[in-house]
Structure 1
Amino acid sequence: MEKTDILSLSLEEIEKVLVANGEKKFRAKQVFQWLHVKRVFDFDKMTDISVQLRGRLKEIFCINGLFVQKKLESHMDNTVKYLYGLSDGNFVETVLMEYNYGHSICVSTQVGCKMGCRFCASAIAGYVRSLEPSEILMQIYETEKNSGVKVSGIVLMGIGEPLDNYDNVVKFLKLLSDKNGNNMSLRHVSLSTCGIVPRIYDLAELRLGLTLSVSLHSADNIRRSEIMPVNRTYNIEKLLEACRYYIDRTGRRITFEYAVIDGVNSSEADADKLASLLRGMNCHVNLIPVNKVKERNYHTARSGVVEFAKLLDKCGINATVRRTLGSDIEAACGQLRRDAAEQNRNEKGGADR
């Protein structure tokens, strides 16, 4: 019998399974809290549950674990980057960041990415699959355990496109905020998307309270399509229409991410066009120095990003420059996974010869 991934189940789903197996409904809450409050991932250690039930749990369920394959710690700002190994041999990346207000974690939602943004390393090693809700959750649980710190903010901005894994991501968010488990307010969660328009409408209807961050990176359709292939399907006009709907429906401000790339989208004309595009919207612009990726030829001088922020400010657009973290450990998403996948291929090739 194939076992069910219990960490991906809601409390109600666990209740149904246990009741169908002749157990009392309240047992489900005990198990749920062992997993999501006490963070115990061994059924034998759930001591207020009978030995008989523990045995039955092991027969029915599995617990999707992760293991630390590699850990890099920044000597500049205490950023920690984890390469996590999954049960099927794939890898994802997670970044723990320290701020004045506490610790924030950037989690991955897929193994690889289909979106193909030209300046991003996430898609270079190829797309494999989407992560289960448990595999997104476990990035938080294992990082807190390994680091000894409590995470106060979560960013879905690691490897993968969250809205391309919509159902699993929404289930993860509901598990994260369940009052019987983590009970985290989703106002402490930010979800970043390259702009899958239909899913923005779907997300708006849920009114989860999270912050939506939209990767814009250009105010020109031709240029945006060159660096972000998703724009060929959902152009800027369709994207902004969906964003306005999200703002109206949720009452939440949207953050527009803009990676300033020298010679691509960094001119005064680019700033004017961006300002015209966003003027009047309840939004904020987060300017990002583009990360160095060895397979790409894009680069940014931080002084250029600061200058671009000044240009937007003159146009009346609220913009900030994102603080660069973990630059000495390649904290940009996708680079560790790329190297690990390449090493695996090389090792496999050597074994076959």
Structure 2
Amino acid sequence: MAAAAVYFVELQAAGRPATTQRSYGMALLRWFRFLWAVEVAWREATRIGARDFSRWIQIGAKPVRPHWRAPDKPVVVKPKRVNAVTGKRPPGEKYALSTIAHCETVLRSFYAFHLDAGTGPLVNPFPLARAKRAHAHHNPMDRFEPQRAGLYRPRQPKRIPRQIPDEVFNDLFARLSSDRDRALVAFWVSTGARAAELLGVLRSGADPGQQLITVVRKGSRAMQQLPASPDAFVWLRLYQQQIHGLAPAGPDDPLWWTLRKPLRPLTYHAARAMFVRANALLGSNWSLHDLRHTAAYRLARDPGMPITDVQWVLGHASLTTTQIYTTPTPADVIDAVVAHHRRRAEPRPSAEPEPLGYRKESLDVLFGRRDS
């Protein structure tokens, strides 16, 4: 599609990374497939078509693809239940609300771009919501939210990121099978770096002396040094000794390599498969991104760690994004309430003030006490 190609050129010129362009492309592909099914050209799409697409994507099922190893084998959709260890629900058969909202945003910006260029319809089929009275019923203690969003953008529930409890993390860490995997997980859970950011570290980016590791940030593409735990560098040294002489060790070579020969730079999908295998032994379904949530939660709950420092470590552009990690988990709230009841059950000290360096006979005269 020439229209999509021009739009991607605009995204690339605006500095959007390849991952963002891919997610935008998937959203456009869903829309074009819908238009092809109803036999409507993209320039002829109306608000009615956009409304029907928004209805379909909310109730329709995601396409199921056969496994590449058995393309002729019929796909059997098994019922998915909440994981007993993590309490997380696996990806469902329908599109998530976040995916639907992202798709609406992409399509609205796609048509807005072509409206400005004069190559699209006269009216954007994905309009903004109807304007309301400015700041109506606004709580002065809350920040001002954007006044207008997409008309067909669904409301999303406020999500609290899940963090891995310490005892569960220890069990998961014990099931890792190599020093490389232990080093990766230790870095993820201590630096809060994204999975792709850590996998892109070069050999020269690790500084054990200063306990720093240099990553390239996902959004800004800026290089940033992140402090890591000492045990992460211990596992890193053990891993480097294991592959010594087998993998290139130049300063501009990748830090992480596969363990099977021929050695290749470790990719995200290979690292994810490693973590899935460890999860299978534990019976859990934690993700690599949950390690970042765990690091953020540990930092934000530390009373000696300013929230602005946590924001810098995580690379958040807005402080409000970092503040979601200050919300306690149900387990922490339960522990705090149980400790409160325990303190209430303890005997209270006497209300009578203890003499602080004063003579007893002087206090008796002052308070009018008499010896019985």
TM-score of Structure 1 vs Structure 2, range by shorter chain: under 0.3
Q: Which has the higher helix share?
A: 2
TM-score of the pair, normalised by structure 1? 0.26
Q: Which has the higher strand share?
A: 1
